[in-house]
Structure formats: structure tokens, C-alpha cells
């Protein structure tokens, strides 16, 4: 009988991270998934789970050595820059192979009215020129960037904002929900709240793309925040190829 495969660390609570964990557990590859702990009731992946930070790149490098990690997959959200930078530095220091698993970004269609912004602050500056009632789907931690706007805003979040997230816009309503979403439901949300502009991050994927289809059908402009630059590392755009990468590096 062969020896047990080295343990794999999956960073992130994305749908891709959960799918990868399930595939590896089914192949009897030991897996630990690390969640940031920013969502109160996250969807939990299969395998072992840890919650919280590592204490920067040095702390992560020590954790990799202490737990005999054979490979790391950075499957964090496309906008989670800090942990990706730590993963790149820590894996290089520890000599552990690392892969970035990231879903492709969204692309506008011929009938879309998209306006790209480099940051949330840029999106906030652009917003008053495009509408008067906005749906914000950029997460609770970025709401402070819109605090100075004198316009009606509906923020959709998984968890409610709190004091640690900074100041909130004065004319803000919050709705709590979690994808996946349907186009018909998104269209009803836009109609019910008389939304005339949508703000989103370029998160990609199918779980939250319905809002883009609903905005297109309603001829509503969309501000799309570009993804931040990522550290240079091997990259996979789908779970299937990530599974192959992991299996190749954890064979015994």
C-alpha cells in the first residue's frame, strides 16, 4: 500500500475552493481549507477547516512547515489581495508549490452599458454621473468609499455592516442575501427599488451574474470595478485543471 499523500492547503471560501476540496477529499487527498472568518455563517467545504489569519507571510510559512503541507491552492476571492501576496511570499520561502485558482472575469456584451473603474473610490466618483438610485453589490467592507455621496443607495451584503467597516452613506438601505441569484428575481429587485445604476466588482462566475443580465434587459448602466493585480504564480481558471495540478504534486 502507498503512503498517505501530503496535505493540501486551500485558501479561501469561494465556490471554486469548495468544489476543489470536495474533489480532493473524494480522491482521499488530505485537505485543510482556510477561511478568513469575515462571513458569520460561511458555506463550509469538505475536509478539515481552519478560520482566521496566519500572521502574515512569515506566519503562513511556519504553518506550512509545521503541518507538512505539500501544496497550496490560493482560491480566494479575486479581490482578496493581501492573502494572495502572503501566499506567494510564504510558499516561496517554504519551498511549497502554489497555484492560483481564479474564475475568469465577466465580459460585457454588445448591449451592455458598462463603465470600468480601477477602485471603489473611482466607482464612487463616477456613480453620480450615471444615476440617482444605485444598487451596490461590492460588499459591506467597501461601503465607506460611498459615504460621501448624497444619493439613495441599496447595498446587498451577506452580513450587515458594522462599525469596523467605517462610515456608511447617509441614505443607505441594506438587504441581506447570498447567491446564487436568478435573472427574474434580480429584475424584480431593480424594478421594486427603481434602481437606475448598478455597481459591482468583477467577481466573475455564474452565482452572481444574473444582476448583469437584469441590468442589460433594463438598459441600466453598470459600474464594474476591475480586479487588482495578483502575484505572479501558476494559474488555473477551473477546478478540473486545479485537481490535476494538485494530484500531480501530491503523489506518493
Secondary structure (3-state) at 219: coil
* CA–CA distance, 133 with 218 (Å, rounded to integer): 14
pTM listed for this prediction: 0.86
pLDDT in tens, 107-158: 999 999 999 999 999 999 999 999 999 999 999 989 999 999 999 999 999 9
Cβ atoms 187, 210 nearer than 8 A: no
Q: For each of the domains in the chain, give its residue range(s) and CATH number, in order of start.
A: 7-103+229-249 (3.40.50.720), 114-225 (3.40.50)
Helix axes 239-249, 15-26, angle to 10 degrees: 50
Q: What's the number of CA atoms in the CB half-sphere (13 Å) around residue 223?
A: 25
Is 80 exceeded by the pLDDT of residue 71? yes
E-strand stretches of the chain: 7-11, 31-35, 48-51, 69-74, 98-101, 114-117, 133-137, 152-157, 172-176, 197-201, 222-225, 235-236
Is 60 exceeded by the pLDDT of residue 60? yes
pLDDT in tens, 216-239: 999 999 999 999 988 889 999 999
Cα torsion 160, 164, 166, 169 to 10°: value is: 20
- Name the one residue in this structure whose C-alpha cell is 434580480: 186
Query: Is residue 159 classed exposed, middle or buried when 0-12, 13-18 and 19+ CB atoms within 10 A define those classes?
Result: middle
For residue 36, what pLDDT band results from cuts at 50, 70 and 90?
A: confident
* CA–CA distance, 159 with 163 (Å, rounded to integer): 13
Closest CA to 72 of 252, 249, 228: 249
For residue 80, what pLDDT band results from cuts at 50, 70 and 90?
A: confident
Amino acid at each position: 500500500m502507498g503512503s498517505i499523500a501530503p496535505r493540501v492547503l486551500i485558501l479561501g471560501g469561494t465556490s471554486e475552493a469548495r468544489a476543489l476540496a470536495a474533489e480532493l477529499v473524494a480522491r482521499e487527498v488530505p485537505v485543510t481549507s482556510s477561511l478568513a472568518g469575515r462571513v458569520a455563517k460561511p458555506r463550509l467545504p469538505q475536509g478539515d477547516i481552519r478560520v482566521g489569519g496566519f500572521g502574515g507571510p512569515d506566519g503562513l510559512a511556519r504553518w506550512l512547515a509545521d503541518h507538512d503541507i505539500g501544496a497550496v491552492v490560493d482560491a480566494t476571492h479575486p479581490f482578496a489581495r493581501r492573502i494572495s501576496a502572503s501566499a506567494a511570499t510564504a510558499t516561496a520561502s517554504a519551498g511549497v508549490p502554489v497555484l492560483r485558482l481564479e474564475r475568469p472575469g465577466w465580459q460585457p456584451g454588445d448591449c451592455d452599458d458598462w463603465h470600468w473603474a480601477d477602485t471603489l473610490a473611482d466607482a464612487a466618483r463616477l456613480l453620480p454621473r450615471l444615476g440617482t438610485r444605485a444598487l451596490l453589490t461590492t460588499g459591506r467592507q467597501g461601503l465607506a468609499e460611498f459615504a460621501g455621496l448624497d444619493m439613495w443607495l441599496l447595498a446587498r451584503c451577506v452580513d450587515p455592516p458594522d462599525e469596523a467597516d467605517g462610515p456608511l452613506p447617509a441614505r443607505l438601505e441594506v438587504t441581506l442575501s447570498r447567491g446564487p441569484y436568478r435573472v427574474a428575481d434580480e429584475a424584480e429587485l431593480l424594478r421594486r427599488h427603481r434602481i437606475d445604476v448598478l455597481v459591482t466588482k468583477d467577481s466573475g462566475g455564474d452565482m452572481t451574474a444574473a444582476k448583469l443580465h437584469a441590468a442589460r434587459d433594463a438598459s441600466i448602466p453598470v459600474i464594474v470595478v476591475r480586479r487588482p493585480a495578483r502575484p505572479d504564480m501558476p494559474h488555473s481558471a477551473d477546478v478540473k485543471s486545479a485537481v490535476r495540478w494538485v494530484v500531480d504534486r501530491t503523489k506518493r
